[in-house]
């Protein structure tokens, strides 16, 4: 799929990995679609991305100005030579995180059905050997449910 069609089909929550170059930096980064808006009185389609590995860094943007071609920016600086890296499932799973308030949580499991998610949560909740209180929550994603550990505070006696 061409890059312009792939970017046009993105929705909030989708994750892509891009490789890019610019005058100030280059590299490969995994991005999550944070929002999608129309700006300039509806003439420009703007997608805001956040870095999955470090959501508190500068945001990435994609702009489509009506010609069907997408331009990219990191913060307020343009980036060029943007290519979408094919998804390697294991690599995406390793870098998947969820931001809740000011904390970022890594996922615990990805399962296919809600029933399996509930079984996983019931089996793994409670205090473990190290005295860590484990509380899990499941979130719906495209192809199933993803489970995050919400609390890992050590209990004091």
Query: How is the beta sheet containing 126-127 ordered, strand by strand?
Result: 97-100, 103-111, 144-151, 133-141, 126-127
Task: Answer whether 0.75 is exceeded by the pTM.
Answer: no
Dump pLDDT digits (tens) for 130-142.
566 667 777 777 6
3-class secondary structure, 136: strand
34-38, 63-67, 118-122, 152-156, range with the lowest pLDDT: 152-156
Query: Could you tell me the pLDDT band of residue 97, with boundaries at 50, 70 and 90?
Result: low
User: What distance in Å separates the CA atoms of residue 32 and residue 153, rounded to the nearest whole number?
Assistant: 28
- Residue whose C-alpha is closest to residue 50's, from 97, 85, 107: 97
Quick one: pLDDT band at residue 107, thresholds 50, 70, 90? Answer: low
Q: Any idea which of 28-32, 47-51, 91-95, 132-136 has the lowest mean pLDDT?
A: 91-95
The residues, any chain, with a CB within 8 Å of residue 5's CB and separated by 6 or more, are none
Cα 61 → chain centroid:
14
47's tokens: 């997608």
The answer, yes or no, to whether residue 115 has pLDDT greater than 70, is yes
Mean pLDDT of all residues in 69-98: 73
Query: So what's the pLDDT on residue 47?
Result: 95
Please give the average per-residue pLDDT across 58-87, as a whole number.
89
pLDDT at 120 over 90: no
148 or 6, which is more confident: 6
- The confidence score (pLDDT) of residue 94 equals 41
Give residue 92's pLDDT. 44
Q: 42 falls in which pLDDT band (50, 70, 90)?
A: confident
- Does an H or E element contain 110, and which? strand 103-111
């Amino acid at each position: 799929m061409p890059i312009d069609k792939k970017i046009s089909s993105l929705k909030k929550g989708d994750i892509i990995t891009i490789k890019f170059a610019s005058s100030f930096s280059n590299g490969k980064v995994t991005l999550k679609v944070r929002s999608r808006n129309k700006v300039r009185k509806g003439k420009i389609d703007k997608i805001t991305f956040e870095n999955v590995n470090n959501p508190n860094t500068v945001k990435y943007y994609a702009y489509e100005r009506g010609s069907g071609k997408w331009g990219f920016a990191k913060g307020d600086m343009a980036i060029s030579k943007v290519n979408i890296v094919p998804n390697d499932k294991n690599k995406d799973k390793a870098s998947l995180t969820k931001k809740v308030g000011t904390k970022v949580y890594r996922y615990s499991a990805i399962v296919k059905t809600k029933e399996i998610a509930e079984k996983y949560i019931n089996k793994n909740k409670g205090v473990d050997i190290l005295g860590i209180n484990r509380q899990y929550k499941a979130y719906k994603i495209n192809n199933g449910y993803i489970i995050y550990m919400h609390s890992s505070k050590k209990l004091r006696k």
